[in-house]
Amino acid sequence: MTDTAQTARTAIVTGAARGIGAAIARRLAEDGYAVAVLDLDAGACAETVATITDAGGRAIAVGANVADATAVAAAVAQVAEELGAPTILINNAGIIRDNLLFKMTEEDWDAVLTVHLRGAFLMSREVQKHQVEAGWGRIVNLSSTSALGNRGQANYAAAKAGMQGLTKTLAIELGRYGVTANAIAPGFIVTDMTRSTAERVGVGFDEFIEATAKTIPVGRAGYPSDIAAAASFFCSEGAGFVSGQVLYVAGGPRA
């Protein structure tokens, strides 16, 4: 793909104000795409947008609740108007409400499933209209190694396993229109979310990172840039024959 063609393509990254989402947004901008940095609060996206535009890229901040169908429709319409029809979608928005099953409330369950699964569904449904019209598209959903089960994360594990099922179904339904759908399942990544997990279990974050790294075959924790690299591949022209896959970016196989 030429630089001009890449620049003409627009990506939406949800949950992109910080962490993994921000890293993916920056990487896609480096790859030559215009990027909509979407999060609940557009103001929180300012730093990510500034980093991209200061480097010569094109980006806008978009505020929207991905679990609200009306807000999603308005956000995608805004992106199409200001940057061009979005044909790349990264469903990264997510929250955690960790607790053991007997302590987990219905509100904790619903909140996590709603943001992850309803959000990815609504965003994918809205963006696919532009992808089908263009005859080309990329959807990348963020899953997790927690999809395989993780103590204290019944809601999160269920949501991330659901993301894998959604991914495979999108690949089946949208493939004929030139749209691929893949999922990335990160292992331990150094983010504010894993910092929250350390706080929940009462361990200092540095100590938490060090202890976890010892259990990872490559001997280190992961970083948002590791996930961004995987997303870059899935969004590339060269990944056009890769669809419905789940890539575990975890430093080795899970025991």
Give the pLDDT mean for 49-65.
98
Catalytic residues: 156
pLDDT averaged over every residue in the chain:
95
Contact between residue 166 and residue 231 where contact means Cβ atoms under 8 Å apart = no
What tens digit of pLDDT does each residue of 229-254 get? 999 999 999 999 999 999 999 999 86
Among residues 232, 216, 158, 220, the alpha carbon closest in space to that of 190 is found at 220
Closest by CA position to 150, among listed 222, 255, 225:
255
Measured CA to CA, the distance from residue 11 to residue 52 in angstroms comes to 13
CB-count burial class (<10 Å; 0-12, 13-18, 19+) for 239: middle
- Per-residue pLDDT, averaged over 142-171, amounts to 97
Percent of all residues in the chain with a pLDDT value above 70, rounded to a whole number: 96
Task: Spell out a b/e string for 185-218, using b for 16 or more CB atoms within 10 Å of the CB, else e.
Answer: bbbbbbbebbeebbeeeeeeeeebbeebbeebee
Give the Cα separation of 250 and 77 in Å (integer).
Answer: 35
Backbone angles phi and psi of 86, in degrees to 5: -75, 125
Read off the pLDDT band of 6 (50, 70, 90).
Answer: low
Q: What is the C-alpha separation between 64 and 70, in angstroms, rounded?
A: 9
Task: Write down the pTM of the prediction.
Answer: 0.95
Q: Are 25 and 17 in contact (CB under 8 A)?
A: no
Condensed to tens digits (0 to 9), the pLDDT of residues 156-166 reads 999 999 999 99
For residue 127, the tally of other CB atoms under 10 A from its CB is: 27
Q: Is 118 exposed, middle or buried (0-12, 13-18, 19+ CB in 10 A)?
A: middle
